[in-house]
């Protein structure tokens, strides 16, 4: 597929709020669970597309800390899907040199999900083409609270003084401190809200909202988002700075 993307200005880190699985399923006369299955298929394709386009990190919002409030049957089906997908995708991740990471309160997930994801994380730790970061049982406020707790414990133990804590220090206690902050945040299904996603990390991210429901989001839609990003001027609080990596 030919594109007008400038390869020198591809966003290094793209984050996506994958919204619209339920609405897609309703529109097709299917169950919400089937919508999530189709969303998983779309995600597989987007990981490959992101890698092909030169994106180095892809973070997706798969399950929030608030999603436990959904109907029990739907939550259980999602957990089974996470475990099954992680198991099935091992070979694909290795073949495409995808490194798997997880952000969120991992220890609260069902053991089957933890085991499947842990196997992927361990097997792919030396892969280098793209980092796929799965935000699961994730909440932006929870991440900030967990970082504050970790720093508070160090301060109480006399290992760090409050005066030493600045933004750089605080960032080191987030779930994935080794990753660069997102350059581009994409939200599907037309919703105009952050939904407690990467609250600390997206301070200077560019937003792109599309009406396309997540199961219909494809490489062409990702290209559209990147082209829109490349048409903007990123200032980072200054007067003018050209869009760049």
Tell me the average pLDDT across 114-124.
98
Residue 148 confidence (pLDDT): 97
Percentage of the chain beyond pLDDT 70 is 95
Confidence of residue 235 (pLDDT cuts 50, 70, 90): confident
From the candidates 19, 120, 137, 183, which is the catalytic residue?
19
Mean pLDDT of 24-35: 96
User: Could you tell me the pLDDT band of residue 180, with boundaries at 50, 70 and 90?
Assistant: very high
* 240 — pLDDT class (breaks 50, 70, 90): low
pLDDT band at 237 (very low <50, low <70, confident <90, very high): low
pLDDT at 236 over 80: no
Could you give the CA distance from residue 46 to residue 40 in angstroms, rounded to a whole number? 10
Is a pLDDT exceeding 70 seen at residue 2?
Answer: no
Q: Which residue has the higher pLDDT, 169 or 234?
A: 169
Backbone angles phi, psi at 134, to 5 degrees: -95, 115
Percent of the residues in the chain that have a pLDDT greater than 90, as a whole number: 93
* Res 62: pLDDT: 97
Residue 8 annotated in active site: no
Q: Is the pLDDT of residue 1 over 60?
A: no
Q: pTM for the complete prediction? A: 0.93
**Is a pLDDT exceeding 70 seen at residue 134?**
yes
Residue of higher predicted confidence among 234 and 147 = 147
Q: What pLDDT is attached to residue 163?
A: 95
Q: Would you state the pLDDT for residue 234?
A: 78
- For 31-59, the pLDDT digits (tens) are 999 999 999 999 999 999 999 999 999 99
Give the pLDDT confidence score for residue 244 in this predicted structure: 47
Q: Is 228 a catalytic residue?
A: no
The residue from 52, 67, 181, 216 that is catalytic is: 67
SS3 labels along the chain: CCCCCCHHHCCCEEEEECCCHHHHHHHCCCCHHHHHHHHHHHHHHHHHHHHHCCCCEEEEEEEECCHHHCCHHHHHHHHHHHHHHHHHCHHHHHHCCEEEEEECCHHHCCHHHHHHHHHHHHHCCCCCCEEEEEEEEECHHHHHHHHHHHHHHHHHCCCCCHHHCCHHHHHCCCCCCCCCCCCEEEECCCCCCCCCCCCCCCCCCEEEECCCCHHHCCHHHHHHHHHHHHCCECCCCCCCCECCC
Average pLDDT over residues 225-242: 78
Q: What is the pLDDT of residue 245?
A: 44
What's the mean per-residue pLDDT of the chain? Answer: 95
């Amino acid at each position: 597929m030919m594109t007008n993307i400038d390869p020198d200005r591809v966003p290094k880190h793209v984050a996506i709020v994958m919204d619209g699985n339920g609405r897609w399923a309703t529109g097709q006369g299917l169950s919400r669970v089937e919508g999530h299955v189709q969303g998983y298929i779309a995600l597989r394709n987007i990981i490959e597309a992101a890698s092909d386009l030169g994106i180095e990190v892809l973070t997706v919002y798969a399950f929030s800390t608030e999603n436990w409030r959904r109907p029990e049957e739907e939550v259980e089906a999602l957990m089974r899907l996470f475990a099954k997908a992680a198991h099935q995708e091992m070979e694909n991740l290795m073949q495409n040199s995808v490194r798997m990471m997880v952000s969120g309160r991992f220890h609260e997930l069902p053991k089957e999900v933890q085991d499947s994801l842990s196997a992927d994380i361990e097997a792919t730790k030396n892969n280098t083409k793209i980092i796929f970061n799965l935000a699961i049982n994730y909440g932006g406020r929870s991440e900030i609270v967990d970082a504050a707790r970790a720093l508070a414990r160090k301060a109480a133990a006399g290992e760090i003084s409050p005066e030493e804590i600045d933004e750089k220090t605080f960032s080191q206690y987030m779930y994935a401190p080794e990753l660069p902050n997102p350059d581009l945040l994409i939200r599907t299904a037309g919703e105009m809200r952050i939904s407690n996603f990467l609250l600390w990390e997206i301070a200077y991210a560019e937003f792109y909202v599309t009406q396309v429901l997540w199961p219909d989001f494809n490489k062409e839609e990702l290209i559209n988002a990147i082209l829109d990003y490349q048409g903007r001027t990123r200032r980072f609080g200054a007067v003018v700075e050209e869009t760049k990596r």
